[in-house]
Chains A and B, each alone.
Chain A
Amino acid sequence: MIAGISIYEILTLSSILFFIGIYGFFTRDNLITVLMAVELILNASAVNFVLINTYLYPDLLQGAVFSIFIIALAAAETALAIAIIINLYRIIYSVEVKDTEIMKY
């Protein structure tokens, strides 16, 4: 609970963060940077959970615990994604998004 700050502002912040992540996902040319954008997205959700929990439903800790799991999952996901990206790099020596377009139509 942050004095003077309403839940609307919190949600606005997290939404902006979420859509910045989305924007990043759309525009980044490098797979690793795309993955970074995903981190923003996940963090937006985590922030949501925590702050909604504390603002609106403080008697239970569901949101708070949820966010712990989000972080854990984000870590696992990132690790795997990086492994996959590196695997790609070993084959084509590139991690550019534009080099992952041989399958289409």
Chain B
Amino acid sequence: MDFSYTILIPLIPLALFVILGLFSKKIPASISGWLGSLGLGTSIALSLYTAYHYFMDGKLEGVYQTFVYKQTWLIFTDKLHIDLGVLIDPISVMMMVVVTTISFMVHLYSRGYMHGDDGYTRFFAYLALFSFSMLGLVLATNLFQMYIFWELVGASSFLLIGYYYTKPSAVAAAKKAFIVTRFADLGFLIGILLISYYTGTFDFKDLTSLDGMLIAGWGASASFMGLSVFTWGLILIYMGGVGKSAMLPFHIWLPDAMEGPTPVSALIHAATMVVAGVYLVARLFPAYYFVEDGFALQVVAYVGAISSLVAALIAVTQTDIKRVLAFSTMSQIGYMMLALGVSKYEGHEGLGYMASMFHLFTHAMFKALLFLGAGSVIHAVHSNYMQDMGGLRKYMPVTHITFLIAALSIAGFPGFAGFFSKDEILVAAFESNKLIYYSSVLVAGLTAFYMFRLYFNIFWGEDRKYKHTPHESPLSMTIPLVFLAFMSIFAGYIPFSQFVTADLMPFEAHLNLPLAAIASSVGIIGIIIAFIFYKKPSDLPERFANAFGFIYKWIYNKLYFDELYIFVTKKILFGVVAFSASWFDKNVVDSSMIGIGNVTVSVSNKIKGMQSGKLQDYAMSFVGGIVVIAMVVFYIWIN
């Protein structure tokens, strides 16, 4: 079977980017939107075809095969070289579909949303760049290729967040996103260096092969602080994932990233880029699982669980709807992480892995939908804040319905996509770690609560004083909504375990009814509470918030993470390290160099008296010179 044509899937957006980027001034807005959508349309068609092709025929003796097409790009040493290419296996195909789908939807949507914007063409160029980078990341054949596209994704995210570059907050957010993720990527890079040093390869195939150097040989490697260096390497690589996926403690950039245009948030910060961390762990899953008995994987699980819980809590308190969604995203990605973390490898044991990917898939659909819906709302009312919204269901029926579907889906309402994927995660957690399971259930409830808090606040309640009457968005924006709503319902019925598994062998997954019941009831309780609190305006939420007092405040302020970071960066890194470096440079290093010159000049001034202008002084020094030289010489001579 030949999948080499898949290389076109990322290359089409690249071509788009080059064309739109180089000629952004020349191409009229109307054309560039269509051009972008068309390009992505081709990509999605290709990737769907690939998916079909692969999942139908990609098996050999019941195991999904991995296809690799690559070209050497840069050679470091005899063993280490960077290849660029495509790697076709279940998760990459699945991700490819997700990325092209969402990207295509966002392209379509943006044609309406960005209408009339100055940098319309530029926007589409960035989108194309992002799609290219993300696809390159997804299809990476080795760690370094992934790192390359990882960075590119970061950069396009920077460009897109900072799209409204005249807005200081957008610039700050873009910078923050870039720098925070870059700091995390530092870990990624060092991890790559560590792993590649000991294994002599970047290649995913070698790294995840069960008898490869990494998995088979970790026990023999050196250890550091009680852990194998391989474990350290994996943890460091995971640090990159933590950064990109906005897990604790590198999550702080994600809420701010909402400064970007809303379609961007849907594409990057909900559906695709932020799951890169999940994808990274999934990509290296055998390594995480087998090295040092899965210690690194446990780290993944706990980071995921904690992030998911913390994010859910914070989401409850936020009033900016995009921020609510951002924290929700973080929480859901935590879910995926923890699912991976609790997963095992073989057969049905690998349920968590499957669940994680499944959730990734469904989440992409409904979260994109939520964002696009939110975008539609924002587009209508020109505000991000809940207090500026209310009763919009009358004005925006399509948005309202699709938003509701998405909310139900994310809340895990039975029958919707989210229900199925979330259930699998809970089952996996239940089977392996009870603590994580309970926290996940709690998160499920919280999720339902804050989603419906959002929903009721926006679409129910009283009308606010709108500057002009809100109206439904144009067709170009609603069509993607409808499509995604469709997906948010029916994606759940895809038999994912047939396609995506840890050991590449399909297995039968069944709904675990008791656990599903618990989860959905918790979700429904959340919805009901939200209904009570927010269906009609009341002072209940306020009283509730007051009852929790400083805890509420603490959570509302996102646990003061931002402040902590600002303290560390501004006060310590800038204020102390950077300041002292530049002070030291100016006052010690430079001064000492100048000082050498000054000393020379001042010595020169000090000794000017030697040249007294007196003839007899000169004579004395003349004779003195003779006498001194003679004495010195004789002194040496006598000895």
* A touches B (Cβ under 8 A): yes
Where the two chains meet, the residues of A that have a C-beta atom closer than 8 Å to any C-beta of B are 22, 25-27, 34, 97-98, 100-105
Which of B611, B615, B623 has its CB near the most chain A CB atoms (within 10 A)? B615
Known contacts A26-B619, A26-B620; is-contact A103 B613 (Cβ 8 Å): yes
A22 vs B615: C-alpha distance when bound (angstroms) = 13
Closest residue of A by beta carbon distance from B612: A104
Closest residue of B by beta carbon distance from A100: B615
A26 vs B620: C-alpha distance when bound (angstroms) = 7
Q: For A26, what are the chain B residues with a Cβ–Cβ distance below 8 Å?
A: 616, 619-620, 623
B615 in contact with A97 (CB, 8 Å): yes
Interface size range of chain B in the complex: 10 to 19
Separation in Å of the B341 CB from the closest CB of chain A? 82
**Please, what's the 1-or-0 string for B610-631, where 1 marks a CB less than 8 Å from any CB in chain A?**
0111111001100100000000
Q: For B619, what are the chain A residues with a Cβ–Cβ distance below 8 Å?
A: 22, 25-26
A28 vs B383: C-alpha distance when bound (angstroms) = 101
Give the A-B contact count at a CB cut-off of 8 A: 30
Separation in Å of the A60 CB from the closest CB of chain B? 29
Separation in Å of the B605 CB from the closest CB of chain A? 9
Where the two chains meet, the residues of B that have a C-beta atom closer than 8 Å to any C-beta of A are 608-609, 611-616, 619-620, 623
A101 in contact with B623 (CB, 8 Å): no
Q: For A100, what are the chain B residues with a Cβ–Cβ distance below 8 Å?
A: 613, 615
Q: For A27, what are the chain B residues with a Cβ–Cβ distance below 8 Å?
A: 616
Q: Is the interface of B mostly helix, strand, loop or mixed?
A: helix
Q: For B620, what are the chain A residues with a Cβ–Cβ distance below 8 Å?
A: 26
A97 in contact with B611 (CB, 8 Å): no
Separation in Å of the B606 CB from the closest CB of chain A? 12
Closest residue of B by beta carbon distance from A22: B623
Q: For B608, what are the chain A residues with a Cβ–Cβ distance below 8 Å?
A: 105
A105 vs B608: C-alpha distance when bound (angstroms) = 5
Would you give 13 A-B contacts (Cβ < 8 Å), ordered by A? A22-B619, A22-B623, A25-B619, A26-B619, A27-B616, A34-B615, A34-B616, A98-B614, A100-B613, A100-B615, A101-B613, A105-B611, A105-B613
Closest residue of B by beta carbon distance from A98: B614
Separation in Å of the A69 CB from the closest CB of chain B? 23
Separation in Å of the B618 CB from the closest CB of chain A? 10
A97 in contact with B616 (CB, 8 Å): yes
A101 in contact with B614 (CB, 8 Å): yes
A101 vs B617: C-alpha distance when bound (angstroms) = 11
A31 vs B614: C-alpha distance when bound (angstroms) = 12
Separation in Å of the A29 CB from the closest CB of chain B? 9
15 new A-B contacts, CB < 8 A, other than A26-B619, A97-B614, A105-B611, are: A25-B616, A25-B619, A26-B616, A26-B620, A26-B623, A97-B615, A97-B616, A100-B613, A100-B615, A102-B613, A103-B613, A104-B611, A105-B608, A105-B609, A105-B613
Closest residue of A by beta carbon distance from B609: A105
Q: For B616, what are the chain A residues with a Cβ–Cβ distance below 8 Å?
A: 25-27, 34, 97
Q: For B615, what are the chain A residues with a Cβ–Cβ distance below 8 Å?
A: 34, 97, 100
A101 vs B616: C-alpha distance when bound (angstroms) = 10
A64 vs B97: C-alpha distance when bound (angstroms) = 117
Separation in Å of the B291 CB from the closest CB of chain A? 78
Q: For B611, what are the chain A residues with a Cβ–Cβ distance below 8 Å?
A: 104-105
Nearest 4 Cβ contacts at the A-B interface:
A104-B613, A101-B613, A105-B608, A25-B619
Separation in Å of the B311 CB from the closest CB of chain A? 78
Q: For A22, what are the chain B residues with a Cβ–Cβ distance below 8 Å?
A: 619, 623
A101 vs B615: C-alpha distance when bound (angstroms) = 8
A60 vs B606: C-alpha distance when bound (angstroms) = 54
Closest residue of A by beta carbon distance from B607: A105
A101 vs B608: C-alpha distance when bound (angstroms) = 14
A103 vs B608: C-alpha distance when bound (angstroms) = 12
A27 vs B615: C-alpha distance when bound (angstroms) = 11
Separation in Å of the A40 CB from the closest CB of chain B? 14
Separation in Å of the B231 CB from the closest CB of chain A? 74
Closest residue of B by beta carbon distance from A101: B613
Which of B612, B616, B619, B623 has its CB near the most chain A CB atoms (within 10 A)? B616
A39 vs B358: C-alpha distance when bound (angstroms) = 115
A39 vs B619: C-alpha distance when bound (angstroms) = 15
Separation in Å of the A86 CB from the closest CB of chain B? 17
Q: For A102, what are the chain B residues with a Cβ–Cβ distance below 8 Å?
A: 613
A105 vs B611: C-alpha distance when bound (angstroms) = 5
Q: For A98, what are the chain B residues with a Cβ–Cβ distance below 8 Å?
A: 614
